[in-house]
Amino acid sequence: MAITVTPTVPSLNYKTGDPLKAYVNAVVVGLSSDGQLTVVSDSISKSSATKIAAAFKEVGATGALDEVTRIPAGTLADAEVLVGVGLGSSKNPVSHERLRRAAGSAVRSLGGFKKVAIAITAEGPLEAGALLEGAAFGSYSFTEHRSATLKKAKAPVATISLFTAKTRTSEYRDALHRAQVFSEGINFARNLINASPLHLAPADLAREAKTFLTGTKVKVEILDEKALAAGGYGGILGVGQGSTRPPRLIRMEYRPKGATKHVALVGKGITFDTGGISLKPPANMHHMKDDMSGAAAVISTIRAIADLELNVSVTAYAACAENMPGGGAQRPGDVITTYGGRTIEVLNTDAEGRLVMSDALVRAAEDNPDVVIDIATLTGAEVVALGHRTAGVMGDDHVRDAVKASADRAGEEFWPMPLPEELRPELDSLVADIANVGSREGGMLSAGWFLKDFIAEGLPWAHLDIAGPAFNPGSPWGYTHKGGVGFGIRTMVAFVEDVMDGTAEI
């Protein structure tokens, strides 16, 4: 039943000259409004920009943020259509993330068009990179499970050209390379998340990771169920024992010469989560194929770090299992022994992610990293607290704050959360070292406390709960499609860069 999830990504490039005369199917321009609709493009002449603005005004375009308006190009351009995307008021500075979302909204609306020109002003290489990233993220479609006819329907944009009047320097080339790398990693993660859980058992996820990392400087080791049993990985085995499809632990290692810093990444890889014996309600259970989003993120992140040749050692772990209520499934009340010897009383089998993470966190510490970052769709409480677009980050204060700063630079939304000391006693067990759940109130925070118990003393750590933004169940927006998002990759890459240049003090 296995499928191949190797991503299809658009070709990105820079162009000079007049985009209105380019051999493309569509031209995207920025629109701002401050009493008068204005085209924001330094590659289009003033006279042409005035005519284009008038044409968009005729059909009701306002320039409001993320508003996308498409009109026939007619005599205004050689392309088939012109697309105007709102950038908001000209009084407000246009952030990098606003540029990403604008380009993403426009390109996402252009399925079926092969070649697109982006003619939105990029003041410098960072702005150019943001436009290219957003456009690339917007060009995505998952068709693996569709019939041959529907696979070809409205294929995503294949070639994206950013027209800029600026002189292209090494910084511009780096920005383009970075956008291409992120496009590959995020679309790979999206494909994994969107894949049918029937087609993506833990062994399949491990195989896809190894294939995706082949040809890079990342070494991959896969522990099957026999190796996990021999090593004493009771958390991963306990979660996976109710499934006929056994668990895996994927260990990935990137060691550049001369690196003086070492970051460990740990991702939750539950390929499908029924809740086990503590069965979830049936409504929206089909979304639980996204419960391996943390694993997908660390696989894509270490590939991006290698492709960008960052001078930081990285070890990544993806703890993969399928949580099913089969005859061999673990029961509420069971006590399991995790890697390293600590015991857990399983009060709720639907709090399974922290069980697989406990094994991986202890194992990751044995690699002697300078800092550990874990990422998981860990709690429904995170979604209740922060919604579907914002992730929570908690842990050691200085690491938590450094991750937040990296996320802000990367354009992903994280909110720092506390770890109140009064929540830890709720995890005390009558029969084991720790229980896997506390009270419902503050569930995201007590889950953080649980993970903290498996962090080696003195080892800096932060936990990223991405339960909300990992999967978009509603309408698409910006460069975010419905379904798998690929969230957290840009933040973790930015954090590793900040560790490399000393911005993140660990």
- Minimal CA–CA distance to 463: which of 393, 364, 403? 393
Distances 257 to 136, 260, 311, 312, 506 between C-alpha atoms, Å: 31, 9, 8, 9, 21
From 57, 280, 389, 404, active-site residue: 280
Residues 396-432: b if buried by 16+ CB within 10 A, e if exposed: beebbbbbbbbbebbbbbbeebebeeebbeebeeeeb
- Which three-class secondary structure state does DSSP give residue 482? coil
- 360 lies in a domain? yes
What pLDDT score does 2 carry?
61
Q: What is the pLDDT of residues 252-292, one digit of tens each?
A: 999 999 999 999 999 999 999 999 999 999 999 999 999 99
Residue 174 domain boundaries = 11-187
- Asked whether residue 111 is assigned to any structural domain, the reply reads yes
CA distance 289 to 387: 19
Q: What value, to the nearest 5°, has the Cα angle with vertex 96 and ends 60 and 69?
A: 15
Q: How far apart are CA 506 and CA 501, in angstroms?
A: 12
d(Cα 424, Cα 266) in Å, to the nearest integer?
22
Residues 55 and 124 in one domain: yes
Q: Which of 82, 159, 163 is nearest to 119 (CA)?
A: 163
The pLDDT of residue 137 is above 60: yes
Q: Strands 483-484 and 471-472, how do they pair? A: antiparallel
Q: What percent of the chain has pLDDT over 70?
A: 99
Picking from 187, 209, 233, the residue at the C-terminal end of a domain is 187
Please check whether residues 206 and 172 belong to one and the same domain.
Answer: no
Torsion of CA 352, 353, 357, 358, to 10 degrees: -30
Task: Evaluate whether residue 195 is within a structural domain.
Answer: no
Total structural domains within the chain: 2
Question: Where residue 347 sits, what CATH number does that domain have?
Answer: 3.40.630.10
pLDDT score of 478 more than 60: yes
Does residue 34 surpass a pLDDT of 70?
A: yes
* CATH number of the domain enclosing 35: 3.40.220.10
- Name the token pair of 504: 């993140």
Q: For this structure, is 409 an active site residue?
A: no
pTM value > 0.85:
yes
210 catalytically annotated: no
Question: Which one of the listed residues 190, 245, 354, 363 is annotated catalytic?
Answer: 354
The token pair that represents 396 in the structure block: 């050691």
Same domain, yes or no, for 113 and 78?
yes
> Are residues 205 and 181 part of one domain?
no
pLDDT computed for residue 151 by the predictor? 67
Q: From 373, 409, 412, 417, select the one nearest 393 (Cα to Cα).
A: 417
Structure tokens at 106: 């426009």
Are 338 and 244 in a shared domain? yes
Token match 């090494």: residue? 170
Q: Which residues pair with 14 in a beta bridge?
A: 162
User: CA of 10: how far to CAs of 174, 281, 306, in Å?
Assistant: 17, 39, 20
Pair 280, 158 in one domain: no
Confirm if 410 and 488 have CB atoms less than 8 A apart: no
Q: What is the pLDDT of residues 115-125, one digit of tens each?
A: 999 999 999 99
